[in-house]
Amino acid sequence: MALTPVLTAHWDEPDAFTIAGYRRHGGYEMVGKVLGADPDRLIQVVKDSGLRGRGGAGFPTGLKWSFVPQNDDKDHYLVVNADESEPGACKDIPLMIANPHAVVEGCILAAHAIRARRCFIYIRGEVPQAVRRVRAAVGEAYAAGFLGRDVLGTGIDVDIDVHAGAGAYICGEETALLDSLEGRRGQPRLKPPFPAVAGLYARPTVVNNVETIANIPTIARNGAEWLRQMGTEKSPGFKLFSVSGHVNRPGVFECALGTTMRELLDYAGGVRDGHELKFWVPGGSSVPLLMPEHLDVPMTYEDMQAAGTMLGTATVMVFDETTSVVRAISRWIHFYKHESCGKCTPCREGTYWLEQLLADFELGRAAQGDIAKVDEVCKQMFGRNFCPLGDAAATPYAPALKYFRSEFEAGTHTPAHELFDPLASAVFTPSTVGAAP
Amino acid sequence: MTEEFRTQCRELMARFPQARSALLPMLHLAQAEDGYVTPEAIRVCAELLELSTAEVAAVASFYTMYKRHRSGTYHLGVCTNTLCAVLGGDEIWRTLSERLDTGHDEVSADGTFSLERIECQAACTHAPVMTANWEYLDDMDVDKALDVVARLGRGEAVRSTRGPVIRPFTDTERTLAGYDDGLAGEGGTADAKMLAGVAYARQHGMSAPQAPERSPFDETSGTDDAGGAPAGDGEG
């Protein structure tokens, strides 16, 4: 597999984020063509392409669209999930900053496919630069006639609102996002009913990840067969990967699905000089970690699953031998405790206890029985909540224990910072001076 | 709250199919007025949306960006989630907190800075990451963090590494409430890390497959005038 710049192809042009920069490379050419065709045609093209959701779950996009009831005389809504908050994930924000018009054009086309006149792009509030860029792109698209009433004389109306969140990881879960968009606490709903039947304002709604939506104009332009030249049968196409952590050149890499971590490490300049790979996490903190022995597993939905993990957001975190795995897991558990919405008891209580137990390991004061106790708490949490946050919190511990049991055993007598100097894992040398504020 | 605040809230409410959807933007707007969500703002939002104050307070207390005491002019975030922490974020946090004598969710004595240990900011390729009034300060270290604080404290302009010059907390909140700040063009398209893949692909002659000449939609007759530009609503 190889690098396949599509969404990123023109990011080295200074005006790529403007409508002029986007149209220079064929941007918005599909609006008139797709809106002039039957909505089912785009659904079929996307189905044929095999495109799977890029938010982490990998559900087939065309199939999701086809669940929306048609000709039911109800308002339909397209909601774009741009609440990227998964620890390790850093691909949607760069996309919105550098190529917001691909998102806007994708919204126009997808809205037509699902018979929606109204689209909401929900962007996490902590990144005003992404909010600005997408909002400006929407404004430019209105001014050019690609949004609003009777788009390009097709008789079709499409409106987009850009909505800023206010700080809550859980709003990346689609039903929590819908509640948040309705002005409520962002807490997940019981499913069914699924959003396709009763979503925003209890109306048929499709919630798609922002990278998924940005794929749509290219797939409409180039067709399913073109997309299937990349990736595998079950994981066709290209994907925004990122590599962060202890590598020489961290960054965003747009690759065909099926690219291996060994290739990605090469693109990212390898593990930082003088160090070696300890473990890596393929798709955000909610998926099980992998080891150097997994470097040649193709990064597809199916191969990652076979390796005992998930592709997730395909945003890889790399940690070298200076990293305490106990510290890493403990901090992720703290995150899930902080972000649990509190609706479901196993998640709310489980994260509360896990955080304290993991902190004990990190501080070197865990009891011998705590290794089994953490495992038991995780099992009590798993699969017992409305949404996957509880599962995510229960996920990192078991693989970490499997590969690094001795570090957890050491947590019964020695603090992690004595075993692993935190300054050795830092990517800078701390200064002893510094100007007074 | 001022009459102008109420007017702007009504404008936000009118943008949505159901007025309550405007509550998150209204609370951002309240912070743009006062630097935090005041009890009075909760009463006014409740009155405008015909909700109880308990319902509005329940929403305001759920989201971490809504503050229950006045933020500093510059609200500084240090990411201490795993990846940033391991790469040095914990050290940055410790140094800043000591230097400003300010803890998590606290405000410095002179009101210039508030500090927050933030969760993942979706910029892990740029770790360790900080924010100032939610604008990115990428690839930080202890010295850079202290320098930013020193310059902001002296009233000097500090530019986000991927965005505009950092403005006061209340200005960012107005942007988040939905008001155009005219700054979308600041900061360039992409920095070196966002371009890492494009650069490697160019250097090694890698590319996506050649696009076919015809699209699946080319045989459609009728409206095929993507170049046309009828007047839009001009909303932004």
Report the SS3 class of residue A300: coil
Q: What is the mean pLDDT of chain A?
A: 96
Which chain B residues contact residue A335 at CB under 8 A?
Answer: 81-82, 119-120
Please report the pLDDT score of residue B225 as a whole number: 44
State the average pLDDT for chain B: 93
The DSSP secondary-structure symbol of B177 reads H
Kindly report, residue by residue over B118-133, the tens digit of the pLDDT: 999 999 999 999 999 9
Q: For residues A350-376, give the mean pLDDT.
A: 98
pLDDT of A434 above 70: no
pLDDT at A431: 66
**Closest by Cβ to A98, choosing from B121, B189, B192:** B189
CB-closest option in A97, A128, A201 to B17: A201
State the average pLDDT over residues A341-350: 97
In DSSP terms, which residues pair with A245 in a beta bridge? A318
Would you say residue B221 has pLDDT above 60?
no
User: pLDDT value at position A429?
Assistant: 82
Overall average pLDDT of the B43-47 stretch: 98
* Cβ pair A41:B95 closer than 8 A: no
Contact A83, A122 (CB under 8 A): yes
For A25, counting Cβ atoms within 10 Å of its Cβ (0-12 exposed, 13-18 middle, 19+ buried), the class is exposed
Which tens digit of pLDDT belongs to each residue from A179-198? 999 999 999 999 999 999 99
pTM confidence score: 0.95
- Which residue segments constitute the domains of chain B, with CATH numbers given? 3-62 (1.10.10), 74-177 (3.40.30.10)
Q: CA-CA distance, A290 to A287, in Å (whole number)?
A: 9
Write the residue in A184, A238, A425 that is nearest to B86 by C-beta.
A425
Q: How confident is the model at residue B17 (pLDDT cuts 50, 70, 90)?
A: very high
- Return the percentage of chain B with pLDDT > 70, whole number: 92
CB contact under 8 A, B62 and A186: yes
pLDDT, residue B223, reads 45
Give the start-end residues of each E strand in A83-204.
Answer: 118-123, 159-164
The conformational region for residue B140 under phi > 0 = left, psi -120 to 50 = alpha, else beta, is: beta
b or e along B107-123 (b: 16 or more beta carbons within 10 Å of the residue's beta carbon)? bbeeebbbbbbbbbbbb
3 state SS of B74? strand
Tell me the per-residue pLDDT of A93-113, one tens digit each, with 9 for 90 and over.
999 999 999 999 999 999 999
With an 8 Å Cβ cutoff, are A251 and B196 in contact?
yes
Q: B34 to chain A nearest CA, in Å?
A: 16
Tell me if B212 and A223 make a contact (CB, 8 A cut-off).
yes
Q: Which chain B positions have a beta carbon within 8 Å of A135's beta carbon?
A: 180, 184, 236
Q: What is the pLDDT of residue B62?
A: 98
Distance CA A150, CA A167 (A): 36
Do residue A125 and residue B65 have CB atoms under 8 angstroms apart?
Answer: yes
Q: Do A33 and B220 touch (CB under 8 A)?
A: yes
| Residue in A11, A85, A92 to test binding to B, most B beta-carbons within 10 Å | A11
Whether the pLDDT of residue A58 is over 80: the answer is yes
Q: Which residues of A touch B98 (CB under 8 A)?
A: none
Query: Chain B interface, mutation test: which of A132, A181, A257, A316, most B Cβ atoms within 10 Å?
Result: A132
**Would you call A430 and B142 a contact, using CB atoms and an 8 Å cutoff?**
yes
Using DSSP bridges, classify how beta strands A315-320 and A277-281 pair: parallel, antiparallel or unpaired.
antiparallel
Q: What is the pLDDT of residue A70?
A: 87
* Cβ contact B83–A118 (<8 Å): no
Question: Residue A63 carries which side chain, given as an amino acid letter?
Answer: L
Residues facing residue A119 across a β-bridge: A78, A160
> What is the mean predicted confidence (pLDDT) over A127-147?
98
Instruction: Among B82, B87, B153, select the one facing A87 at the smallest CB separation.
Output: B82
Q: Tell me which chain A residues have a C-beta less than 8 angstroms from the C-beta of B233.
A: 142, 147-149, 159
pLDDT tens track for B131-152: 999 999 999 999 999 999 999 9
How much is the pLDDT for B227?
A: 42
pLDDT per residue as tens digits for the range A265-317: 999 999 999 999 999 999 999 999 999 999 999 999 999 999 999 999 999 99
* Cα of B42 to nearest chain A Cα, Å: 13
Interface test with B, best of A34, A51, A77, A90 (most B CBs within 10 A): A90
Cβ–Cβ of B184/A132 closer than 8 Å? yes
pLDDT at A435: 41
Q: What is the pLDDT of residue B234?
A: 37
Greater model confidence, A54 or B1:
A54
The model's confidence at residue B236, banded by pLDDT at 50, 70 and 90, is very low
ipTM: 0.96
Report the distance separating Cα A235 and Cα A312, nearest Å.
13
For the stretch B49-64, pLDDT in tens is: 999 999 999 999 999 9
Report the pLDDT value the prediction gives residue A272, as an integer from 0 to 100: 97
Helix axes B169-177, A128-143, angle to 10 degrees: 40
Distance (Å, rounded) from C-alpha A305 to C-alpha A296?
14
A427 φ/ψ sector (left φ>0, alpha ψ -120 to 50, else beta):
alpha
